[in-house]
Amino acid sequence: MTVRKEARAVEDGYANELVPGLRATADAVRLSEEIAFSVARIEELSVTPPGRYGTAAAQEDREEALWLAFQIAVLSPLEDGDDGPWATIDAVRTTWAGGETPDPGEMPLGPRPGVDPRRGAAATFTAYRAWAERAGSQAAAFAGDAAWSRQRRFDRAFERLALPGLARAPRFELLLLVSCLDLADLEPWTLGFGADATDPTVLAAKRVFGIGDAINLSRRASELCAAAAVPVGALDLALRNFGAPPMTPRVRAAATVGVDEEVRARVAGVLGALPPGPDEPEAGESADPG
């Protein structure tokens, strides 16, 4: 049995209707920081994607680009190690045209892989190829019906990509990647909260929004993002990092950027969690009575 300890700040009377589950200003400040980092990462993916993200975006062959994006989502960039985030992916990635299945074996995977430990990575990759081949190509599988909206296209892809090992987190990451890298015309407008009740992002969302059912979680997440003017997709990694145990390093997912201070200030302002001034006490502290 795994015991998960959440990082909870000391309650100080904080309350905000956008995040009804939070009771400490320090938690609201930290959530603002994680959202600002995730927004910066999305911006980087969309404008100057680093590493293999950039390799996928630059591929002239759309099938090879989508196949590399899928391998990145399944294997997950590493967060530590001397060889950088792409070591495992570079060592095992294959081409779509070649038809071979990547085999990471005992090599390390990133923190959010799309691999069922009982069945191995081959099951995920084989199921994905079958999904794409039924549609005629990967591009066609992601596109679906030409009359669909970008949100509808996301919903159908998210639903149909419920493949072996491809739990909510790597599935959402894949669709976020293909959207940011302009490989498929879809919009990650909801986080798929009902797909995996044990997912760290889902657990953190229940804490932040103070409710458990998927419909209301999605509604409250959308309301927060609308009020803060940030994409809903930014909440995926932000909530994952916010809900991590104390002293856990932030999952960067190979991003080379830091916190976007403009976004952090905007989100903190919406949450009523701006840092105190130089003469004000920190959250949870008392002012000097003298």
Is residue 30 predicted with pLDDT exceeding 70?
yes
99: left (phi over 0), alpha (psi -120 to 50) or beta: left
Q: What local confidence, expressed as pLDDT, does residue 28 receive?
A: 97
Point out the least confidently predicted range of 101-105, 126-130, 223-227, 277-281: 277-281
Print burial letters for 215-248: b (CB count within 10 Å at least 16), e (below 16). Answer: eebbebbeebbeebebbbbbbbbbbbbbbbeeee
Whether residue 115 contacts residue 89, with contact meaning beta carbons closer than 8 Å, is answered with no
Assess whether pLDDT exceeds 50 at residue 86. Answer: yes
pLDDT at 102: 97
16 and 274 in contact (C-beta within 8 Å)? no
Contact 139, 178 (CB under 8 A): no
* pLDDT at position 41 over 90: yes
pTM comes to: 0.91
The mean predicted confidence, pLDDT, of the chain is 93
Angle CA(265)–CA(39)–CA(77) in degrees, nearest 5? 135
pLDDT value at position 93? 98
Mean pLDDT confidence for 57-78: 98
Q: What per-residue confidence (pLDDT) applies to 81?
A: 81
Look at residue 9 in the predicted model and tell me its pLDDT: 81
* Model confidence band, residue 216 (pLDDT cutoffs 50, 70, 90): very high
Closest C-alpha to 25, from 4, 11, 36, 39: 11
Are 153 and 144 within 8 A, CB to CB?
yes
pLDDT at res. 277:
56
Task: Please give the structure tokens belonging to residue 187.
Answer: 């919009």
% of the chain with per-residue pLDDT over 90: 87
Of 225, 178, 236, the closest CA to residue 202 belongs to 236
Give the confidence band of 209 by pLDDT, cuts at 50, 70, 90.
very high
Of the given ranges (5-19, 35-49, 50-64), which has the lowest mean pLDDT?
5-19
The dihedrals phi and psi of 111, each to the nearest 5 degrees, come to: -75, -15
265-290 pLDDT, tens digit per residue, is 999 999 999 765 555 554 444 444 43
Dump pLDDT digits (tens) for 224-269. 999 999 999 999 999 999 999 988 999 999 999 999 999 999 999 9
C-alpha to C-alpha distance for 190 and 97, rounded to whole angstroms: 32
Confidence of residue 6 (pLDDT cuts 50, 70, 90): low
